[in-house]
Amino acid sequence: MLGEIKVGRCSRQCYREKRPLKEGEWYYSVVLQNDDDDYERRDYSAEGWEGPPDGSLGHWKCRMPVAGEKKLVLAPRAVLIGLLRQMEDLPEQAKTRYLLALILLRRRFVRVTTGPPLTANDPGTPDSETPGPKIMHLEVVDDGSTIDVAECQIAKSEAESLSESLSELLYCEASEIQQE
């Protein structure tokens, strides 16, 4: 099962340049584990970024908010689950679908269930000799239905473009969501 790491909010300061980050400025954040087994977040301006420091657990690129800019929010839960189901028949979207499944796991909209270890090449045989990606068996928390998602390897060179396309797909302006 995936572990959860508690990370603080953006410091709004460049760790290397020791200056405030400006509105609309792109910056990078990293998570490091310190000697006390706690986690530390560091934020770097684009100019101060030289790549992730040794020992970093993860890093990502963000943009400082601009005053008055419309806020983006994640699409509603039902929409995200529906999107995951619709993408099943789109093999060219396998990596995006896998990342969406991980987001839904992180948000606890779905959970991993036990099932026989299957491969995408031969879904009926538990120990298939035909190599293929492993399948993640997911249960939708709201209704108990199941969804199978092929695990994918994502190269560093693909990460940024997949992240951008996923963001465009999943987020909308807060004003677009109707209050029920």
Mean pLDDT in runs of 10 for the chain (180 residues)?
A: 67 95 93 82 94 87 84 82 90 89 91 67 49 86 92 86 81 54
Contacts for 25 with CB less than 8 Å, ≥ 6 apart: 45, 46, 63, 64
The confidence score (pLDDT) of residue 165 equals 80
**pLDDT at site 35:** 77
Cα–Cα separations (whole angstroms), residue 88 to 38, 40, 95:
38, 37, 11
How far is the C-alpha of 47 from the C-alpha of 14, rounded, in Å? 9
What does the pLDDT read at residue 163? 82
Over residues 141-164, the pLDDT tens digits come to 999 999 999 998 888 888 888 888
Give me the pLDDT at residue 26, please.
93
Q: How far apart are CA 82 and CA 80, in angstroms?
A: 5
Measured distance CA(151)–CA(102) in Å, rounded: 10
pLDDT at 115: 63
